Amino acid sequence: MLWKLVIVAAAAAILIGGALWVADGTHIYTKDREKVVTTSHDPIFGTEVEEVTWVENFQYGLFPDHAHISHLHRSYAFILGLGGGVILVSLFMLRRARRTA
C-alpha cells in the first residue's frame, strides 16, 4: 500500500509541476527576469528612443536557466525526471513485494 501512495504522490507532483509550467507560459528555459522596453519621443532630434530595463519576474521553464547543478531544481525537467524515477522504483518495489508475499 505504501508504494501505491508513493506512485500517486509522484504522479500528482508531475501533474502539478506541469500545470505550473503551462500556467507560466511553457518556456523552454527558466527565466528570472523580464525585459521591459519603453519607447519615448526625443523632442530635440525628433527620433524615438528605446529604453530597456529588466524587471525581476520568475517564470518556470522546462530546463534550468544556468547549466550548473545548483540550478537544476528550478526546472520542470527536474520534477519530471525525479517523479518518473520515483514511479519506476516504486513499481519495482511493488512488484518485488507481491512476489515475496
Is residue 41 over pLDDT 80? yes
Could you tell me the residue range of the domain that residue 75 belongs to?
2-32+59-100
pLDDT attached to residue 6: 95
**pLDDT (tens digit, 9 = 90+) per residue, 55-97?**
998 888 888 877 777 777 888 889 999 999 999 999 999 999 8
Higher pLDDT pick, 4 / 71:
4
pLDDT attached to residue 30: 87
> Considering the domain boundaries, does residue 7 fall inside one?
yes
- Number of structural domains the chain divides into: 1
Considering the entire predicted model, what is its pTM?
0.74
Listing DSSP states for 85-98 in one string gives HHHHHHHHHHHHHH
> Considering the domain boundaries, does residue 66 fall inside one?
yes
Model confidence at 4, pLDDT cuts 50, 70, 90, reads very high
> Considering the domain boundaries, does residue 54 fall inside one?
no
> Considering the domain boundaries, does residue 48 fall inside one?
no
Angle of the 2-23 helix axis to the 76-100 helix axis, nearest 10: 160
> Considering the domain boundaries, does residue 8 fall inside one?
yes
> Considering the domain boundaries, does residue 88 fall inside one?
yes
pLDDT attached to residue 68: 76
Beta bridge partners of 63: 29
> Considering the domain boundaries, does residue 45 fall inside one?
no
**pLDDT (tens digit, 9 = 90+) per residue, 17-33?**
999 999 988 888 888 88
Query: Rounded CA gap, 97 and 100, in Å?
Result: 5
